[in-house]
Amino acid sequence: MDVKEKKYGEIEIEKAELEPWPNPNPERDYVIEITFPEFTCLCPRSGYPDFATIKIRYIPDKYIVELKSLKLWLNKFRNRYISHEAATNEIYKALYDLLKPRFLEVIGDFHPRGNVHTVVKVRSDGKYE
């Protein structure tokens, strides 16, 4: 019987946790923008893959997110059955709870499927266009 061994990347993704780092400039406001163009998850109804660009924009307070931990943690969604709305809100909540930033916005820009394009925005200030 051929037993598939997990690759090192699969192991890293499986154990991934978001990691806060001290903000090197907590005395001033500045904006951090992160784009993750290869986000994937699975449609909870059909099982088809959903692809998105996740955009994160925040003004840090005491902490910033360590980028490798964010990349690996976002890759944990790739085999999960989760809606666009739930995924975007879960990413927002995890980052907000971890970092407690002065401002946070997470945008899930999901690629069209079946002629439908979905963009989900979550912001800490509640100001939407």
Question: Letter for the amino acid at 18?
Answer: L
Residues with a known catalytic role: 43, 50
Question: CA-to-CA distance for 24 and 10, rounded, in angstroms?
Answer: 31
Beta-sheet strands, E only, within the chain: 20-22, 32-42, 49-59, 63-65, 103-113, 116-123
**The Cα angle at residue 80 between residues 78 and 85, in degrees rounded to 5:** 95
